[in-house]
A and B are shown apart, each in its own frame.
Chain A
Amino acid sequence: MVDMPAQNPQRIVLPPHRERARRPRIVRFREWARRNLFNSRAGTALTIITAAILALIVYGVVYFVFVDANWRVITENRWLLFAGGYPMDQEWRLWFSVMFVFLLIGLTYGTWASLGRRDHLFIVLASGFAILLLAHGGAAIWSTIWYLIAVGLLYAGYAIMIRMPREAGPGRTLQQRSVAGLLIAALPIILIVLLAFGGARPRELEGFVLNLVLAPVGIAGGLVIAIPLALGRASRMRAISWTCTTYIEVVRGAPLLGWLFVALFILDDVIGGELIVRAMVVLAVFTAAYMAEYIRGALQALPGGQSEAAHAVGLNQFQSMQLIVMPQALRISIPPMVGQAISIWKDTTLVTVILPLRELKGNADSAIAQFEFTPDRIEAYVFVAVVFWVVAFIMSRISQRVEGSLGIGER
């Protein structure tokens, strides 16, 4: 957690190293460059070629972003891209959700990790990007203010949690339980805020909002299905393990796109009308098959002594699973699970095939379908790509940090 572990100073201060470190930075840089960039004739050539290519790319990007591109396609269609058919007079519900999520990120980081310099830099850059986008048109000032409040909440939540002692104890347990509880409750809370009590109808969830709703539902639902599925596959009872294996193999046997078509044409009779619900079901069912395999792998990786020790202290089969085996298996499977989560996040774009579900990419298509903006296709897609990347990056970053601090108990 702390950047510089407190160590015996005698260990760190090695005189020769200190000598080297004392020389002016430019000298050190020159030495570093000679060692790493120009260490041989071939190395020098490679360095020069790479530098030239990099320069070209940077030039191209800068030129495109600041000179060539017409970002009006984005700023003008801001609402269409982000919220689409969501009723404009209910905008506060969207902002509430944004603030809630930002607060949760702050709380999570403060509880299980800490913000490093790079995290701050990323927040500043992403915020710059967001404000650039928001600070246009009529509601510019208010949108910017709401956004800044959200960032403020992130830091406030972080500041409160990071001040709590990390040592194990009743206080720490309470803190962890509360934040975890809030994380679990977050999705239902947000769905209620967005939809209930005069909010939007489900089919009015569109654009980026739709991606942001679909992915967590798919991931959380997938996890809920995956745990019994993994246990079932590992079960000694033939019928159960056979059923679970079949589920996993069948679902993994076809691409998500195929399953979405199934949702569109076949599930009509089974689940009924609401398309968004069908998409959610498909995403969860699809994700579950992959997650179940990761969990099963983790179950196998766990030393058999764990459940034996659990039985030896008198726990029954269920308690041993719930208290000893599953918590450890889930932690082992965090990295592949996050990979799966990121992949399902990007795959939410595929629901566009189920018209009229219009997520971000789908609405970008409609934006450039307007006569005025037909030449700005690339801008629109670049924008979509960047937005997806930002969210995926946040996911992987948070999971890395949280994973690191959960590692305390590892053998």
Chain B
Amino acid sequence: MTTETEATPTRDLESMEDIIIAENVDKWFGDFQALDNISMRIKEHEIVVVLGPSGSGKSTFIRCLNRLEEHDAGRIVIDGIEMNDDVRNLNAIRSEVGMVFQQFNLFPHLSVMNNITLGPRKVRRMPKLDADALAMQLLERVGIPEQAEKYPAQLSGGQQQRVAIARALAMQPKIMLFDEPTSALDPEMIKEVLDVMQELARSGMTMIVVTHEMGFAREVADRLIFFDEGSLVEEGTPQHFFENPQEDRTKLFLSQIL
């Protein structure tokens, strides 16, 4: 299914290992089925953009990938680690998977610095000096080193989201999940966050991004996935999606959003 895109001609995803494997995943909320038999494989370094109307299960799916939601049936394997009730597996997975939320979810009572260093220090037992150095490096990378000692409430939305990205990167994850990272932002701040994400994509991070930013999807994604009513309806390259979508539901959705 996956093919190389023109945007990243040097990458050879075909030869990569599957880093995320989902097989026949179901998720129920009470008697409402939020995910229906989802199967997909994602290669290391691949950039996947997830599309779909509101309530289609996009968030639920990527939240299953770091067990913020527990799937009810099927299998999820992350980097060779089975997602099950074993706490050691869960801890291993969570430190390999970073997540960025729509509402940033920064810790308001901690400074930017402490937001970023908390994970490395408490989970990886990294010495404070090393963690601070790492945090500064990441803040440079997302372009706001001067905000290190501020509190989240003192930052703009775009800056907060960039801190949230730095916080997730501080755990040195192999995979990054983004759940509508720009949806809560004012238009003028969306680009600064997308730029950071694009840089991240170029650096070889495996990324799953739920977004309505079609420009980003077209330029950065290796593969697009379309969800509707809890099912995986269609997947393919950006070219396939924007020029030649097959399913009616996909066409309808794209016609509304483009």
Q: Write the residues of chain A forming the contact surface with B, with a CB cutoff of 8 angstroms.
A: 167-169, 303, 305-306, 308-316, 319, 323-324, 327-328, 331, 408-411
Could you show 9 A-B contacts with beta carbons less than 8 Å apart? A168-B113, A309-B105, A309-B164, A312-B94, A312-B168, A313-B168, A314-B171, A409-B151, A411-B152
Q: Which residues of B contact A306 (CB under 8 A)?
A: 105, 107
**Interface bits B148-174 vs A (CB < 8 Å: 1, else 0):** 011111000000000010011011000
* Chain B neighbourhood of A323, CB < 8 A: 118, 122
How many angstroms from the CA of A323 to the CA of B106 in the assembled complex?
13
Give residues of chain B (92-115) contacting chain A, Cβ–Cβ below 8 Å: 94-95, 97-99, 101, 103, 105-111, 113
Q: How far is the CB of B176 from chain A (nearest CB, A)?
A: 11
Contact partner of A316 (CB less than 8 A), chosen from B68, B91, B97, B109, is B91
Contact B95 A167 (CB under 8 A): no
Cβ of B206 < 8 Å from any Cβ of A?
A: no
Q: Are B109 and A327 in contact (CB under 8 A)?
A: yes
B101, chain A: closest CB distance, angstroms: 6
Interface contact B68-A312, CB-CB below 8 Å: yes
Chain A nearest Cβ from B242, distance in angstroms:
32
Check if A315 sits within 8 Å of B118, measured CB to CB: yes
Q: In whole angstroms, what is the CA distance A411 to B167 when docked?
A: 18
Name the prevailing secondary structure of the B interface residues: loop
- Extra contacts besides A312-B68, A312-B94, A408-B151 (18): CB < 8 Å: A167-B149, A306-B107, A310-B107, A311-B94, A312-B66, A313-B98, A313-B168, A313-B171, A314-B91, A314-B124, A315-B123, A319-B123, A328-B107, A409-B108, A409-B152, A409-B153, A410-B153, A411-B108
Query: By the criterion CB–CB under 8 Å, are B149 and A169 in contact?
Result: yes
Q: Which residues of B contact A319 (CB under 8 A)?
A: 122-123
Chain B interface residues (CB < 8 Å from chain A): 66, 68, 91, 94-95, 97-99, 101, 103, 105-111, 113, 118-119, 122-124, 149-153, 164, 167-168, 170-171
Complex: chain A residue closest to B103, CB-CB = A305
Which residues of chain A are near B118, meaning CB under 8 Å?
Answer: 313, 315, 323
**A314, B101: Cβ atoms under 8 Å?**
no
Docked CA distance A69–B170 (Å): 70
Bound-state CA distance A303–B94 (Å) is 21
Query: In the complex, which residues of chain A have a beta carbon less than 8 angstroms from the beta carbon of B109?
Result: 327-328, 331, 409
| Residue among A169, A309, A315 with max Cβ neighbours from chain B (10 Å) | A309
Most central of B68, B109, B152 by chain A CB within 10 Å: B109
Q: In the assembly, what is the distance between CA of A302 and CA of B105, in Å?
A: 11
* Identity of the chain A residue whose Cβ is nearest the Cβ of B150 in the assembled complex: A168
A-B complex: 9 closest residue pairs judged by Cβ atoms:
A313-B119, A309-B105, A305-B105, A314-B123, A312-B99, A409-B109, A168-B149, A409-B108, A409-B151
Set B68, B106, B170: member contacting A308, Cβ < 8 A: B68
Bound Cα distance A311, B97 (Å): 11
Instruction: List residues of chain B with CB within 8 A of the CB of A408.
Output: 151, 153
CB atoms of B98 and A324 under 8 A apart? no
Query: B150 — which chain A residues lie within 8 A by C-beta?
Result: 168
Q: Which residue of A lies closest to B132 (CB)?
A: A170
Q: A313 to B99: give the CA distance in the assembly, Å.
A: 8
Question: Taking each of B68, B149, B168, B171, which has the highest tally of chain A beta carbons within 10 Å of its own beta carbon?
Answer: B68
A409-B110, A409-B153, A410-B153 known; A315 vs B101 contact (CB < 8 Å)? no
Residues of chain B contacted by A313 (CB below 8 angstroms): 94, 98, 118-119, 123, 167-168, 170-171
The distance in angstroms between the C-alpha atoms of A302 and B109, with both chains bound, is: 12
A305 to B170 Cα, complex, angstroms? 19
Q: In the complex, are the beta carbons of A314 and B94 less than 8 A apart?
A: yes
Q: In the complex, what's the smallest C-beta–C-beta distance from A205 to chain B, in angstroms?
A: 38
> Which chain A residue shows the least CB distance to B123?
A314
- Chain A residues within an 8 Å CB radius of B153: 408-411
For A305, the closest partner residue in chain B by CB is B105
> What residues of chain A lie closer than 8 Å to B99, measured between beta carbons?
309, 312
